[in-house]
Structure 1
């Protein structure tokens, strides 16, 4: 399976979930490493745009194409089984993600995007034994279209 990630160029070679571990995010609490990826490049762009402050448009970004092992164990979260307004309760989604990291049963957790819930993000567990098989197969410079920053 191929998944995508947009990252600050300074840290693009680190896919061990360090940033998420340091700050926490939608699906993990601070202290839990997690690699956030998307099923499509376009979703990776939208996720990046809603989570990044672009006052400094000169930030250098990379688009990572990541390959998961062919037999990667995966768990799925169906949006229909999440509580109503789940996107507004970060503690709820963090609990789900923290449990996924702690139990180490699956390498990947497929979750609905809070930006476009009909599309999916793939959370990768750096603590899973098969994480060593996760590979960056391409890294290329990524520059968002300037029109994203002129929306009024």
Structure 2
């Protein structure tokens, strides 16, 4: 299979559709924390605003400047994250990382939509971009918890 055919397979219609329909892109007026993360290899960035109530994500916003793979991952995360605990988000992160790096299974619900990124496991240079939404979200949660008793 040629490199061009591989790229066409990687950037499937489902990935492009997710990337084109990014949820929660309006910044929060008063987030508990804002974190910007950057993937050093490709330069993709994700900025996350997060609000917590009783230890649960109560509101979320994201500004995503990434390849279609990073955008697709952020779209799934953004669509599912409100109402979740930090532990549920950490589990989604760990499952996605295992799927990409260790040929692990598809992440479980509510992040099972990330299965669309299975073809990306062979493109290690894209993994950091794919993980950005989770990385920024977890960092924002940690920051929010540090300033909220």
For the aligned pair, the TM-score class normalised by the smaller chain equals: under 0.3
TM-score normalised according to structure 1 size: 0.25
Greater fraction of residues in helix: 2
Name the one with the larger strand percent: 1
